[in-house]
Structure 1
Amino acid sequence: MTHILKLGGSVITEKHRAETLDGEALDAAADAVADAVVDGAVSELVLVHGGGSFGHHHASEAGVSTTHGTDDTADAIAIHSAMKALNQFVLSRLHERGVPALPVHPLSAGSRDEQGELSLPLGQVETMLGEGFVPVLHGDVIATAEEGVTVLSGDEIVTEAAVALDAERVGLCSTVPGVLDDEDVIPEITTFEDVAAVLGGSDVAADVTGGMAAKVKQLLDLGVPASVFGPDAISAFLAGEEPGTTVHGR
């Protein structure tokens, strides 16, 4: 059974401070992953992490988003290098706990065409899973026809991987315990119209990937239910529970 778990950038970094890791939160997440993987509770796991204060900071300064690109090499390298640095922090925490994690950098794997359609071959990820590794992908920049490079969000990677790998369980770990209506967790979402009034963009100015509304829209297109939950529920998700909000289209 293939699990896909996305760690939001706001979960593992101090998103309001440029290139600042939240070491305590990352340690807790790595503990939960190690407990599930090393003990054998999860046989196949793909991890994806967002950009947080690493990639988002540079992308915002350069005016690059999922739809607006740049052909400035220095800007592209700054965003990509920041994401590789964060990816290495994640890998290091996992390796310290015995998780056989390997990096996958999307810039070298995918592209968008003139219409913005994403092509992200994941044969290497499938092979890694078959060999017992835990692939760790991340938000990145990606070559885009007529735009130079644009941002590829972790949420987009999750949806692409879920389809390509025929994932049976998908979980997005955010800073909140689920999709919220005021302070209450919405237990289930089946159409975007049901929650459009309560979903805004990200509350962080440097977020270039669309916030919770974009997450929900993408998850509704998946063929399997997905869970949106807070950091304290990572272990519950990996244990087979459905914490937080369950998102699935009809």
Structure 2
Amino acid sequence: MVTILKLGGSVITEKDRPETLDGEALAALADAIAAADVDELVVVHGGGSFGHHHAAERGVSASDGIRDVEGIMAVHGAMKTLNQFVLSRLHAADVPAVPVHPFSAAARDGDGDLSLMTDQVATMLDEGFVPLLHGDGVVHAGEGVTVLSGDELVTELATALDADRVGLCSTVPGVLDADDEVIPRIDAFGEVADVLGVSDSTDVTGGMAAKVRELLDLGSPACVFGPDDVKSFLAGEEAGTRIG
């Protein structure tokens, strides 16, 4: 049974301070992962104050690319640094995590459609490892290099690996309604379009609305929850907001 857990960048870093780790939060998450009894686990983490800082500084996004090698390496290098921090915390908790850097394993075509190599991830799982992927730059036909988010990685991996469960750990305890209460379940985007501030027909590219849209398209049950619910999610329990 394949489980995919995404650790939001804002959860494991100090988002307002460039390249600043939230070591205490990351250590707690590593301990929760280590304590879980999950046979096949893939972990993905976002960019937080590491990748996002450099991407914003250079004007690169999921659709607008750059060809400046120095800028590309600044984004990719920052994400590798954060990935190494996450790896070290997981190793300290005796989690057999191994890195997968998407920059060398993915590409977008001229229409922006993503192709991601996942055979190595599947083999890592078969061999008892915990693959650790991260948001990164990705070579993009006609654009140079654009941004590949952790959320997009999650949906690609869930489909390719036929994941049984998907969880997104965010800074909020779930998808919130107008009164900041957690919405227990979402089965259609129209149910929460007003709360998320977009119409059902809007093509959203970021934020919680994008997460909900992408997770609804999965064939796997997915949850959005806060750090306190990671243990519950990995134990197979419902956590935060269930989507789909």
- Shorter-chain TM-score: what band? over 0.9
CA contact (8 A) 1:200 1:211 kept: no
Match of 1:178 in 2: 174
Match of 1:54 among 33, 40, 50: 50
* CA distance in structure 1 between the aligned counterparts of 2:76 and 2:197, rounded to whole angstroms: 27
Gaps of 5+ in 1: 202-208
Match of 2:143 in 1: 147
Match of 1:195 among 188, 192, 195: 192
Deviation at 1:8, TM superposition (A): 0.2
* CA distance in structure 2 between the aligned counterparts of 1:215 and 1:72, rounded to whole angstroms: 30
* CA distance in structure 2 between the aligned counterparts of 1:159 and 1:60, rounded to whole angstroms: 24
Secondary structure (helix, strand or coil) at the match of 1:48 reads: strand
* CA distance in structure 1 between the aligned counterparts of 2:191 and 2:171, rounded to whole angstroms: 22
Letter in 2 for 1:65: S
Runs of 4+ in 1 over 4 A off after TM superposition: none
Match of 2:211 in 1: 215
Match of 1:205 in 2: none
Aligned length: 237
Deviation at 1:137, TM superposition (A): 0.1
* CA distance in structure 1 between the aligned counterparts of 2:220 and 2:41, rounded to whole angstroms: 16
CA contact (8 A) 1:47 1:135 kept: yes
Deviation at 1:200, TM superposition (A): 5.1
Match of 2:235 among 214, 224, 239: 239
Match of 1:127 among 123, 135, 143: 123
Secondary structure (helix, strand or coil) at the match of 1:181 reads: coil
* CA distance in structure 2 between the aligned counterparts of 1:246 and 1:66, rounded to whole angstroms: 26
Moved more, 189-198 or 80-89: 189-198
Q: How does the TM-score come out when normalised to structure 1?
A: 0.93
* CA distance in structure 2 between the aligned counterparts of 1:76 and 1:196, rounded to whole angstroms: 35
Letter in 2 for 1:88: Q
* CA distance in structure 2 between the aligned counterparts of 1:241 and 1:193, rounded to whole angstroms: 26
Secondary structure (helix, strand or coil) at the match of 2:62 reads: coil
Deviation at 1:194, TM superposition (A): 1.6
* CA distance in structure 2 between the aligned counterparts of 1:93 and 1:21, rounded to whole angstroms: 11
* Percent of residue pairs bearing the same amino acid type: 69
* CA distance in structure 1 between the aligned counterparts of 2:116 and 2:28, rounded to whole angstroms: 30
Q: How does the TM-score come out when normalised to structure 2?
A: 0.95
CA contact (8 A) 1:225 1:246 kept: yes
Q: Deviations over 1:163-195 (max 9, x none)?
A: 100110100000000000131001111121221
Match of 1:204 in 2: none
